[in-house]
Structure 1
Amino acid sequence: MAFHEVRLPVRLAFGSTGGVERRTEIVTLGSGFERRSSPWAHGRRRYLIGANLRSLDDMATLTAFFEARRGRLYGFRFRDFADWTSGGPGAETGPLDQRLGDGDGMRTGFVLVKRYGEGEDALERRIAKPVAGTVRVAVDGAELGPGAFALDAATGLVTLETPPGAGAAVTAGFEFDTPVRFDADRIEVTLESFDAGRMAAVPLIEVRV
């Protein structure tokens, strides 16, 4: 998939709105009961950015970023300020935040994930765009040094130098970006004075990578 490993400048996301959407299909039976199903295993995030920009410099920066992505053609990284760490809101990132799996004495590769909810109903989201330099990994509660694992920041794959023993819990903490693309091929800017303007909200949509 066409993707640029670059993050939208954080200041351009201030004042953004957005959240998760899901797709649920509901059939109401003659008895009044419902049958509900979803073709999506995971939710998809949507955002609106740019509506609060007033500086012509910031609007020019967003326009240049839009042009460099060729509109909707190339995906990019986006910092979702409502969900960007492995821990809870305001919590410090730690190596025990998320369980990646258990060792079997041979496996060395583990994909970063984040869980939402508790128990059997929890949803596991794959984290494909971690922020390099923020990932901390532990095996059975003991944090590994930086040289004990390698991170592919473009896929979220962590490769351990030594395979964990059978049953050893592999955990990690990290910051991450959400992979998105522009969901429109047009940007609209209104000039309100010589040094200020107004921009119509620009939609973003999460992409699978």
Structure 2
Amino acid sequence: MGEFIEERLSVQVDYGADFSEEYAVKISASENGNEYRSLLHPFPKMRCDISYEMRKGQWVIDNVLDLYHRCLGRFAGFRVRNTADYSSNAYKGVPTALDQPMQLVSAGVYQLQKLYGAAGKPTITTGRPVRTVFKPVAGTVLVAIGGVALPSAQWAVDTITGRITLAANKTDTIVGITKAAQAVIDVGTNTFLVGESVVISGVAGMTQINGLRALITAKPDATHITVAINSTAFSTYTSGGTVQTQPVAGEAVTAGFEFDIPCRFDSDLSGITFTTFDVMSAGGIEIIELLNP
């Protein structure tokens, strides 16, 4: 971990630039040819070799040389957008709130991450590889609990660390639920708001509603909320139950996002050349991913 500049290196690289992904695998061989392989960690690590050819000299200075100096060469990190892998939805798809599971950090706090390898296909015993997403792109993050997208008022994202913090839990005891196309729940005087996502648990009688999550669509009065759950075919409510905003045990907490990869320079800028008057090229720029920026 060290210094980091929250700035993205220009993506206007030239054809011929390349990137690679690697894993930390230690391999030992015996005299009879047997291999012994150990996986040090399951995190992919990106390397790039990029070039900016035939650009205005001032452009190279402003977009490459200046960042290199501000980072003190290999010392500090910066953001890089891998144009082949920047989305939680496959590699380049439009993000949805259901794309990736998040890792629980502490109560109400989650870390963005991306799992690799198609779901449902065979994996090794350690499971699918995962990239911790520290640098989500502002304005692209979506969050869901239990398959229901959360309104932005119910969570916040830190685009420097990639952590999601859910709003403080709101919870109330249920004293009645109607059978209706949109169930009306009596919770007494409450602070719930229209548009908030809530989950129901612990209900007796109308047990089919337990574990269901939905958005609040209306507040008919000070003690009732209407939710987007069709309860017309459910059993009659008898007693008990709780309604709350934060997840209950077993609810999936997921997210979608675009992301940058934290990197640092892994070479000196020795390939800057003047090609013609006021035209410069910068080639052979090596960049490596920071796993813990």
TM-score of the alignment, normalized to the shorter chain, above 0.5: yes
State the alpha-carbon separation in 2 of the partners of residues 93 and 205 from structure 1. 25
- Shift, 1:101, TM fit: 5.2
Aligned to 2:152: 146
Tell me, yes or no, if structure 1 residue 169 matches structure 2 residue 175. Answer: no
How many corresponding residue pairs? Answer: 204
Runs of 5+ consecutive residues of structure 1 not aligned to the other structure: none
Kindly indicate whether the alpha-carbon contact (under 8 Å) linking 2:44 and 2:131 is maintained by their aligned counterparts in 1. no
Aligned to 2:226: none
| The 10-residue stretch of structure 1 (122-131 or 112-121) with the greater mean CA deviation from structure 2 | 112-121
TM-score (norm 2): 0.64
State the alpha-carbon separation in 2 of the partners of residues 22 and 167 from structure 1. 31
Aligned to 1:7: 8
Decide which structure has the larger Cα Rg and report it: 2
Aligned to 2:215: none
* 1:54-105 deviations in Å (ceiling 9; x for gaps): 1123322211121122211211111111111101144221000001158xxx
What are the equivalent positions in structure 2 for 1:31-180 lying under 5 Å apart?
31-49=32-50, 51-55=51-55, 56-61=57-62, 62-100=64-102, 107-117=107-117, 118=119, 121-161=127-167, 162=169, 163-180=246-263
Higher fraction of helix: 1
State the alpha-carbon separation in 1 of the partners of residues 134 and 110 from structure 2. 12
State the alpha-carbon separation in 1 of the partners of residues 77 and 103 from structure 2. 29
Q: Letter of the aligned partner of 1:53 in structure 2?
A: E
Q: Letter of the aligned partner of 2:24 in structure 1?
A: R
Q: 1:26 to 1:73 in 2, by over 3 A?
A: closer
Q: Letter of the aligned partner of 1:81 in structure 2?
A: T
Runs of 5+ consecutive residues of structure 2 not aligned to the other structure: 170-245
- Shift, 1:5, TM fit: 1.2
TM-score (norm 1): 0.88
| % identical aligned pairs | 34
Higher fraction of strand: 2
| Backbone CA RMSD of aligned residues | 2.0
State the alpha-carbon separation in 1 of the partners of residues 276 and 37 from structure 2. 52
